[in-house]
Amino acid sequence: MKDQIRRSHTRLSLLSDTILSGGASGSRLEVQFRNEMSSAFKLVRALVVIDGAVQYNKTDETGTLDEQKEIPIFNGSVPPGDHTVQVALTFKGNGYGVFSYLNGYKFDVKGAHSLTSVEGKQLVLVATALERGGVTTPLEQRPNVDWSEKIQPIAGTIKAPPAAAAPAGGAK
């Protein structure tokens, strides 16, 4: 229900912007991935799909993927309207000492987010892998994906009025 209300609001905003500005400036989407999981979880696979097309697919057991805390996924033009971004992540347990039993664990996390891109605007979507719960939360329930989005003008589409020249050193 919230998604339907948000989409309706965004469509209304799109229609209003198109009528007021004459449209034709396009729509942009930027998708980023952030890994904020603790060292108890090692990212070994990341797959990101936008509107059914694979944009990022990497598997790495060496730890290089896990060391990347921010990964740019997509930055480009998209048609205005509804889009879907899906992520599939695989984490391995990363334990040592008394917690070495974690090394045998594997965690698959999936998430999807629907969004509406707006004519003349850039939508920045960030998918963040993070842990939910606390020490009493079972390990398999901790890994999650959180989504945040921000709509902003496309760079160069809004021109600021020229600033008035300030008198140098004061007037006499």
Q: Which two structure tokens, joined as six digits, stand for 51?
A: 């509107």
Q: How far is CA 72 from the centre of its chain?
A: 9
Beta carbons within 10 angstroms of residue 37's beta carbon: 23
Q: Write out pLDDT tens, residues 23-65.
A: 445 899 999 999 999 888 899 999 999 999 999 999 998 889 9
Which residues, in sequence order, are CB contacts of 172 under 8 Å at separation 6+? none
Q: Are 128 and 34 in contact (CB under 8 A)?
A: yes
At residue 153, what are phi and psi to the nearest 5 degrees? -65, 150
Residues 104-153 have pLDDT tens digits of 678 899 999 999 998 889 999 999 999 988 878 777 788 999 999 999 98
Residue 1 clears pLDDT 70, i.e. is over it? yes
